[in-house]
Structures are given as structure tokens and as C-alpha cells.
């Protein structure tokens, strides 16, 4: 099953790279979303609430880009090491960081999406730390 989970997560990143963030078919309607240790930490439950939380966090940036670098299968979870870059809205400060996201997939749908600024914490949360 984990290969299918990795393929699903890669499809989401492909759509994001094209600027398409609509992909609701990839998520469970009650998806849990958490920005665990991000500068703009937040959490929500449900697809619309996840979108609202993500939009609010991205509102702090004039530019924001997340590029997946490495994908690790951990049972029903997929850990994606990501390089993020951004430019702060108003401040113009450029930020670059290596982060990680833990995707929990059940029955072909993302049920939890947890973003970690600290990659080691993400691996620990997925049981690989």
C-alpha cells in the first residue's frame, strides 16, 4: 500500500508545482492539518478549514515555494523532505529552509498533513527518529 501512498503524495506536489491547489479528491473530508512548529503555527480539521489555515499562513509571504527533495515511506505515512523559499510580505526578507511534511494516508486519502520546520521532529513523529 505504501507505494500507492507515495504516488498519491507525488501527484499532490505535481499539482502544487503547477499552481493547482484545488485537489480536494486527495483528502479525507475531515483531514487534520497542522503546521506543527512553523513560524505561523496553526491547525484545523476538515478540507475547507485546512485551506483557510494554509491561506492565512501563506498570506505572510509575497513569494513562497516548496520543492520536494526526498520521499520516505513509513507504513501509512509518507515523509517528504522539502526545501522552502520565500520572501516576507512587507519586510522583503528572504527565507530558505529545509523542512519536512508527514502525510498520513488511509484508504487512498490523506487523513492528516503535518508540516514541520524541524525535519528531525518530522522523522521522529513518523517513527523514524
Beta bridge partners of 86: 64, 95
The parent domain of residue 97 ranges over 2-120
Indicate whether 127 belongs to any domain. no
Which residue do the cell numbers 501527484 mark?
Answer: 11
> Could you give the percent of the chain with pLDDT greater than 90?
57
Asked if residue 66 belongs to a domain, the reply is: yes
Give a yes or no: residue 29 inside a domain. Answer: yes
The yes-or-no verdict on residue 5 having pLDDT over 80 is yes
70-99 per-position pLDDT tens digit: 999 987 899 999 999 989 998 999 999 999
> Is there a domain that residue 51 lies in?
yes
Taking only the tens place, the pLDDT of each residue in 23-60 is: 788 999 999 999 998 877 788 999 899 888 878 887 88
Backbone angles phi, psi at 116, to 5 degrees: -120, 130
Name the pTM for this structure: 0.88
Q: What are the grid coordinates assigned to 119, written together?
A: 525535519
Count of domains in the chain?
Answer: 1
506536489: which residue's cell?
13
Separation CA 51–CA 38 (nearest Å): 16
Band (pLDDT 50/70/90 cuts) for residue 1 is very low
**Measured between alpha carbons, how far is residue 78 from residues 24, 25, 66, 88, 103 in Å?**
18, 18, 16, 29, 5
| Contact of 100 with 81, CB cutoff 8 Å | yes
Residue 47 inside a domain? The answer is yes
Instruction: Answer whether residue 128 is part of any domain.
Output: no
Q: What is the CATH number of the domain that holds 48?
A: 3.10.450.50
The dihedral of CA 55, 59, 61, 62: what is its sign?
Answer: positive
Amino acid at each position: 500500500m505504501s507505494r500507492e501512498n507515495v504516488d498519491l503524495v507525488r501527484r499532490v506536489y505535481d499539482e502544487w508545482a503547477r499552481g493547482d491547489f484545488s485537489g480536494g479528491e486527495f483528502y479525507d473530508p475531515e483531514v487534520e492539518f497542522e503546521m506543527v512548529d512553523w513560524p505561523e503555527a496553526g491547525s484545523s480539521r476538515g478540507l475547507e478549514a485546512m485551506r483557510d489555515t494554509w491561506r492565512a499562513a501563506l498570506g505572510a509571504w509575497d513569494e513562497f515555494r516548496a520543492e520536494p527533495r526526498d520521499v520516505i515511506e513509513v507504513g501509512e505515512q509518507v515523509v517528504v523532505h522539502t526545501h522552502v523559499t520565500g520572501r516576507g510580505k512587507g519586510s522583503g526578507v528572504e527565507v530558505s529552509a529545509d523542512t519536512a511534511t508527514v502525510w498520513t494516508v488511509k484508504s487512498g486519502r490523506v487523513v492528516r498533513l503535518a508540516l514541520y520546520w524541524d525535519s528531525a521532529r518530522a522523522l521522529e513523529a513518523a517513527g523514524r527518529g
